[in-house]
Amino acid sequence: MTKNILPTGFSGLGIAPGLLDAIARLRFTEPTPIQRSSIPVGLEGKDLIAIAQTGTGKTLAFGIPMLQRLARLKGRGLVLLPTRELALQVNDALQSVGRSHGLRTAVVIGGASEGTQIRALEKKPRVIVATPGRLVDFLERHIVDLADIEILVLDEADRMLDMGFAPQLKKIMQAATAERQTMLFSATMPTEILSLARQHMKLPINIEMAPSGTAAERVVQEVFFIERQSKERLLQLLLTQYLGPVLVFTRTKYGARKLARNLRKLDHNAAEIHSDRTQPQRRDALEGFKSGKYRILVATDIAARGIDVVGIELVVNFDLPMNTQDYVHRIGRTARAGMGGRAISFATFDQRKDVKDIERLIHTGLSIKKVPALPTRQPTPRPTERPSQPKATKRKRPRKRPGTRSHAPTGKSNRGDRPRQK
C-alpha cells in the first residue's frame, strides 16, 4: 500500500518546473511562511494583502507568481517600492529567477540617468520596477504607458504612505487597467492601507504572518538611557565588543554625515547613506557594506528598508526614530534569513515616553542596560604642525627722502656690473 507523501519545499506550491529549477539553482530549499501562504494565492490571480516582518522573503512571494503568470499573459508587471535601493535589490532578485527565461526588466527611479531608463522602457520590458515619484513624472510626460499593466505589486506599502506617496499611488493605479491583479505587501497595517485596498483592490485575501508591528523573533533588543553628548563614546565601546558588520541609524542626514566622519577619524571603515548622497555614492556604500569593504554603515530612515544584507551582527539606533513604526524596520535589518542578531538603542532621559511607545508597538519590553564605564574622549586629530622656527630679523630700509632717487652701490651701474662712465 502506497502512503500519501505530502510535498515538501517549493514543489507543492504549483510553481512551474522551469521556475523550480531557477529556485533550486539559487539554493532555496524551503519556502518561508509568507512564501508558502502567498505564492498559491498569487498564482490564482487573486488580489492579496500580505503582512509580514522584514527579511522574510517577500520578494519571491510576489515575484514567482508574477513571472509565472506573465508567461501566459500579454501584459506587463509593475513593482512599486519606496526607495531606489529597494528597487535595485528587487530588480536583482527578479533577474536572478527570471534571467534564464529571458526576463527583461526596466528600473525607473529618481537620482539616476533618465536617458538610460527611457532606453530601457523603449525595449518593452515585461516588468517595470519603479519608485512612485519618477514613474509619475514619466507618466505625465507620456514616456511610459501603464494601460497594459496586468499585475501590480506594492512592496513596503506602509513606508510609501509614510513618505507621502499616496497621491502618486492613486495616479498609478488609475492609469493601470482595472482588471489587473494587485498584490500589496507590508510590515505593518496602518488604516491608510485598508483605505487603499477598499478603493483599488477586488476582494483581497488577507494573509498576516505576524501581528502588525511584530519584530523579528531572534533579535535581542536592548536600550541604554544616556546623555546625548556621551552617545559617540558608548558607540565606540560597542564597536570593540561587536566585531561583525554594524548598521547605525541616525535621525538626520547631517547627523549621519557627522557620525560617519568621526568614525573614520578613529580608523573605522565607515560609510554613510542618506538622501544627500548621489546614486553612485549610495551604491558604493551599500555594495561596500555587503562585501566587507566597510564594516560600519551609518544610515537614515530613508534607507532603512533598502538595506537587504544577511549577516548584520548589530543594529544601533544612535537616535530613536521620529516615527515609531520605523523602529520595526530598522531592527529588521538584523536576524535575517533565520539568523540571530542584536538591536541596541540609545535614548536620552527625556525620551522615556518614546521608548514606551516602541514597547507598546512591538508588544514586548526592551531590556534596559546600565551604561558601562566609557572610554575617554579621543582628541580631535589635527594636521601635523611644523616645529616653530625663530623669526628672521628684518633689515630696516633707509627711509627715502622726497625728491631723491635711489642709486646703486658705488662703482656699480643700475644696468649691470659695468663700471660707471665718467
CA–CA separation, 376 vs 217, rounded Å?
Answer: 36
Domain for residue 382, yes or no?
A: no
Whether residues 49 and 129 share a domain: the answer is yes
Same-domain status, 202 and 234: no
In this structure, the answer to whether residues 18 and 147 fall within a common structural domain is yes
User: Are both 150 and 258 inside the same structural domain?
Assistant: no
Residue 417 lies in a domain: no
Examine the domain organization and report whether 51 and 199 are in the same domain.
yes
CATH number for the domain including 339?
3.40.50.300
Shared domain check, 123 and 237: no
pLDDT at 237: 95
172 and 309 fall within a common domain: no
Q: How far apart are CA 152 and CA 146, in angstroms?
A: 10
Do 325 and 178 have their domain in common? no
- For the four alpha carbons of 60, 66, 70 and 74, in that order, the dihedral sign comes to negative
Under a CB-based contact definition with an 8 Å cutoff, are residues 246 and 301 in contact?
no
Report d(CA 200, CA 153) in Å as an integer. Answer: 12
CB contact at 8 A, 13 and 38: no
Is the CB of residue 314 less than 8 Å from the CB of residue 246? yes
Give pLDDT, residue 29. 86
378 in any annotated domain: no
- Examine residue 105 and state whether it is found in any structural domain, yes or no: yes
Strand order in the sheet with 296-299: 270-273, 296-299, 246-249, 314-317, 341-347, 219-225, 367-369
Residues 47 and 190 in one domain: yes
Give the torsion sign (CA, 308, 150, 184, 120). positive
- Give the helix/strand (H/E) hosting 296: strand 296-299
Long-range pairs for 16-22: beta carbons < 8 A, 24 or more residues apart: 16/68, 16/71, 18/100, 18/101, 19/64, 19/67, 19/68, 19/97, 19/101, 21/100, 22/96, 22/97, 22/98, 22/100, 22/101
pTM (2 d.p.): 0.68
| Chosen domain end from 208, 237, 262 | 208
Residues 41 and 185 in one domain: yes
Classify residue 3: in a domain, yes or no: no
Look up cell 562585501; give the residue: 291
In a domain, 394, yes or no: no
- At residue 336, the pLDDT reads 64
Is the residue at 416 inside a domain?
Answer: no
Residues 264 and 204 in one domain: no
The three-class DSSP label of residue 18 is helix
Indicate if 321 and 348 belong to the same structural domain: yes
For every one of its 422 residues, what pLDDT tens digit does the chain have, with 9 covering 90 and above?
444 433 458 888 999 999 999 999 888 888 988 999 999 999 999 999 998 876 678 899 999 999 999 998 889 999 999 988 889 989 999 999 988 788 999 999 988 889 999 999 999 999 999 999 999 999 999 999 999 999 999 998 888 887 889 899 999 999 998 899 999 998 777 788 888 888 889 999 999 876 555 556 678 999 999 999 999 999 999 999 999 999 999 999 999 999 999 999 999 999 999 888 887 888 899 889 988 899 999 999 876 566 777 788 899 999 999 888 788 878 877 766 556 789 999 999 999 999 999 999 888 889 999 999 888 765 455 444 454 555 555 555 656 555 555 444 444 444 444 444 44
Q: Which three cell numbers stand for residue 29?
A: 530549499
Domain count along the chain: 2
For residue 251, the one-letter residue type is R
User: Which domain covers residue 68, as residue numbers?
Assistant: 12-208
Place of cell 505625465: 140
Q: Is 290 contained in some domain?
A: yes
